[in-house]
A and B are shown apart, each in its own frame.
Chain A
Amino acid sequence: MSAPTPGRRSRWTIWLPLALFIGFVALVAYGLMAPGERDVRSAMVGNPLPQFTLPAGVEGTPGLSRADFTKGEPRLLNIFASWCVPCAVEAPQLDTLAAQGVPIDGVAIRDRSEDIAQFLDRNGNPYRAIGKDDVSAVQLGIGSSGVPETFVIDGEGIIRYQHMGPIMERDIAQIMSEWRKAKEPL
């Protein structure tokens, strides 16, 4: 009985590494050429938030539910996670927004309370309340498929604007203006 050595390949498998490599090159070339300013929006933008109630992300703080978003004041909903590196990158910008009086609520995706506490301790805490979303239910419900993402929700609970990826320095003005716009009813 002899084991097939990895060296014994049929003709087409010999070209497999090259095919994979071409796929890799195509992907990163695309990443290089089109540095992500594309505007792909959630289908939920313009629609009301779905119903949800989440337990508190950090012990001793309030949880988060849909009712928090229908109190007449526009708010930001930030999807984040303690294990997500770009979330740490955007943290100073969230702090800036919070300091300018923008109320921000967080939804922590697939996270643990102690990790969230640690993350906030390290990166600052711009959130009024944090909900813990262990199965990505809220995340999927509002049409977000990645972390981090930030939504502007108006005082009626309608999703008005979606920002994908980390909020960088250059995005702050845009987010501020969307938040101000959300003060006007649709």
Chain B
Amino acid sequence: MIAELGLALLWFAAAFALLQLFTGLLSLREAGAGFAESVRPVAVMQGVLVTLSFLALIWLFLRTDLSVLLVASNSHVDKPFVFKLAGTWGNHEGSMLLWVTVMALSGAAIALLERRLPERTMLATLAAQAFVSLGFYAFLLFSSNPFTRLEPAARVGAGLNPLLQDLGLAFHPPTLYLGYVGLSVAFSFAVGALMTRQVGPQFARAMRPWVLGAWIFLTIGITAGSYWAYYELGWGGWWFWDPVENASLMPWLAATALLHSVSVLAARDALRIWTIMLGVVAFSMSMVGTFLVRSGVLTSVHSFAVSPERGSFILALLCLYIGGALVLFGLRASTVNEGKQFAWSSREAALVFNNVALTAILGIVLVGTLYPLLTEAFGVRVSVGPPYFNPVGAIFAFPMVVVMAIGPLLRWREDRFARVGRRMIAPVAIFAIALVAALVLAPGIGILPLLGLALAAMLAVASVLPVLGRNPRRVKLAVWGMVVGHFGLAVALAGMASNAAFTTERLAAAAIGDTVAVGPWDVTLSEIEPIAGPNWTALEGTMTARYRGGAPVVLRPQARNFFSPPTATNESALATRWNGQLYAVLGQEADGGRWQLRLWWKPFVTLIWIGGLMVALGGLLALIGRVIADWKQRAIRVRLAERREYREAQP
């Protein structure tokens, strides 16, 4: 019954989305102004219905209702509770339902809370939002019904990919999804504003919390995904330029650019068209990412259940949304007012430079990801990897870091370089010191890690200058957000460079009792025993590691075998110190009772993820600061209006 109920709710929700689209569009015309009243309630109702539908699917997964095809093929009676829950969205159909649910909830939130936008832009935005949702409803109802029954019911279920049976991963995709959906809201705002040609600071302020929210989720999603790949794949690396990783990086790059240009639009009423364009591009990138991952046009280490049919469907949606938005953009962009002008030596110009750099990096990643597909069209197969992405990306990333250091010190509209130059003396000095220190301490260091370390040091110092010497309580929360975010990026960059420059690795065949040295560590293999989990068996190695002869730390890496489906995975073991991580993997048994061990000592590698989280924290501070400021402003406006009314009422 629950499955049928869920499906019925989904159909009703789709019908309300259709209603939202038509009432929204009609209300934009003079003749249909009467519909304007109904758009907001319809949007709220759509949100409620689809949420109930999603709850029905969660219920089916928690109860492991094996008469539902999706549950039977993605869950298992023996699976732990939390993975049954995560199984709801750990598959194609469920994740699409999650997507459309979050989208409808965002629409409902806009309908209930947003009061700053001009009413017409608001209606157009909700219509655009309904239009995007309808595509996903069609996708779900006609090609990926999550509620299909299985006749006869399965007995135990086909399990979940064991590689994906990991807490981090259970919550990694929904985090990215929240980011993608947030960008779809920004897209709807951009389309709404294009339809009514009302692009200005009010529009930017309404759009900004959604962009910030999306960006925070994307940042957390990418950071968590990178850490997951690091410890779960057992390869010792933290970023592989795999298509799936690129699919999550590209929307982040576009969202980062959008975040900064939307701030310019809100503060200075400049960059109107550019902001609209980025709003379209950011959502395009999340759709392109989803398409590349799901359609199977590219080979990836993350094998989602790919299918060309689904690929075609997503491609059709992509054409409809992005193609449509770009046509609208072409028709309307030249009629949107330019916005304010500014000088080369201004904060706006620095933000424009960073926007261009981010867009260039986005282009590089996109070309690198698609290049294998392009050459395949000409009959040649290639694979593009770090030898391309790292140096080519760095060409734009390093200048961008320099401008990141300078930009926040510049004034809006126009500034004198000489004034800023004086403030940059300390950061530049730190850059030089770090450069020399790295060359002295590590003479063989590569050019990219070297520049990375020195630039990270410079950015770290420069990023705190905007608040240095000011009363911390007087500084706006949004400014703190920027400082923390930029400092976080410096921290992450330092981690990346340090990992690239100073990692030591040891491959050894060790017998029980042998000691292997890696960097400052001595690692002794003390025993190897078989152990069993709920749905796997494993060989677990016990190692005792000592840092410079200090207190022993016990590491237990495993070589696991899952039964359903049969898959072998490596569970790495980590020992974390303040100055880095020891990373241990248990390999195959070599001849004569010896075991292959892979050990890495990675100085300061954890800074990569700490920095990533700081960047997200910066976004969160900015978001809270903006929302509070908006709320206060609204309260003041209400009070002024009340006072005016009171005065007018007096004789």
Contact = CB atoms under 8 A, between A and B. Distances in A.
Interface of A: 1-3, 5-9, 11, 14-15, 17-18, 21-22, 24-25, 27-32, 35-36, 38, 40, 81, 83-89, 110, 114, 117-118, 121-122, 145-149, 164-166
Nearest to A26: B377
A130 to B, nearest CB: 16
Contacts of B300: 85
Contacts of A122: 234-235
B507 interface: yes
B330 A15 contact: yes
Interface string B367-393: 000101111110111110111000000
Contacts of B333: 9, 14
Given A114-B505, A164-B381, A146 B375 contact: yes
24 contacts: A1-B343, A1-B344, A2-B342, A3-B344, A3-B348, A5-B274, A7-B271, A7-B272, A9-B273, A17-B281, A21-B322, A25-B323, A27-B370, A32-B295, A36-B376, A83-B385, A85-B299, A85-B383, A86-B299, A86-B381, A87-B383, A121-B507, A164-B381, A165-B381
- Interface centre among B299, B329, B348, B383, by most chain A C-beta atoms within 10 angstroms, is B383
Contacts of B234: 122
Nearest to B327: A18
Given A81-B385, A121-B596, A145-B380, A21 B323 contact: yes
B270 interface: yes
Interface in B325-354: 326-327, 329-330, 333-334, 338-339, 341-344, 346, 348-349, 352
Nearest to B265: A7
A18 B326 contact: yes
B299 A28 contact: no
Interface stretch (B86-94, B140-148, B308-316): B308-316
B291 A28 contact: yes
Interface in B258-311: 270-274, 277, 280-281, 284, 288, 291-292, 295, 297, 299-301, 308, 311
B535 to A, nearest CB: 23
B209 interface: no
Given A6-B271, A146-B381, A18 B356 contact: no
Contacts of A25: 315, 318-319, 323
A120 to B, nearest CB: 10
B242 interface: yes
B355 interface: yes
A136 to B, nearest CB: 11
A182 B20 CA distance: 67
B99 interface: no
A21 B318 CA distance: 10
B587 interface: yes
B240 interface: yes
A31 B356 contact: no
B598 interface: yes
A31 B381 contact: no
A84 B383 contact: yes
A17 B382 contact: no
Contacts of A32: 295, 297, 308, 311-312, 315
Contact of A14 (B312, B330, B344, B596): B330
Given A86-B299, A145-B380, A148-B383, 4 more contacts: A3-B348, A24-B370, A27-B377, A28-B292
A57 to B, nearest CB: 15
Given A14-B330, A32-B311, A146-B382, A7 B322 contact: no
Q: Ordered nearest first, which 5 A-B pairs have the shortest CB separation? A: A40-B379, A146-B382, A83-B385, A7-B273, A84-B383
Given A14-B330, A83-B386, A88 B301 contact: yes
Contacts of B311: 32
A35 B380 CA distance: 13
Contacts of B281: 17
Given A3-B343, A6-B274, A18 B330 contact: yes
Contact of A31 (B240, B277, B329, B376): B376
A40 to B, nearest CB: 3
B373 A40 contact: no
A36 B374 CA distance: 12
A3 B297 contact: no
A64 B386 CA distance: 25
A3 B355 contact: no
A28 B315 CA distance: 8
B242 A27 contact: no
A118 B301 CA distance: 17
Contact of B383 (A38, A81, A114): A81
Contacts of B284: 21
B330 A7 contact: no
Contacts of A147: 382-383
B616 to A, nearest CB: 27
A25 B316 CA distance: 9
A93 to B, nearest CB: 14
A27 to B, nearest CB: 6
Nearest to A121: B507
B422 to A, nearest CB: 22
B8 to A, nearest CB: 33
Contacts of B507: 117-118, 121
A165 B299 CA distance: 10
Contact of A146 (B235, B240, B242, B383): B383
A140 B66 CA distance: 54
Contact of A17 (B326, B348, B352, B385): B326
A184 B74 CA distance: 49
